[in-house]
Amino acid sequence: MTTIGFLGAGRMGTALVAALCRTGRTVHVWNRTAEKAQALAAFGARPERTPEAAVAAADIVMVNLLDYVASDALFQRPEVTEALKGRLLVQ
């Protein structure tokens, strides 16, 4: 089964992660506010300490950040760029 890496756990991200978990998907989630990612463990998500950890654990990476500026800043990090290689990115 496909594993999802999810970046961003705001209101929309929380709803999407919960829905994905209900389908039985394995979802690794990161949020810059760690408590938001931790709260999603109640749905079965696996909180990660870093975005690159969430990406590296996944086949598909879903990004639900505030805007493209926030996404671009994250994607400029070399460790995130490296972890994304070979993965499908949905933004």
Instruction: With 0.85 as the threshold, say if the pTM is over it.
Output: yes
What confidence tens digit (pLDDT) does each residue in 4-38 have?
A: 999 999 999 999 999 999 999 999 999 999 999 99
Q: Is 17:71 a contact under the CB 8 Å cutoff? A: no
CA-based R_g, the chain, Å: 12
Helix (H, G, I), strand (E, B) or coil at 45: coil
Diameter of the chain measured on Cα atoms: 33
Asked whether the predicted pLDDT for residue 74 surpasses 80, the reply is: yes
Q: How far apart are CA 51 and CA 19, in angstroms?
A: 20
Question: What is the pLDDT at residue 67?
Answer: 92
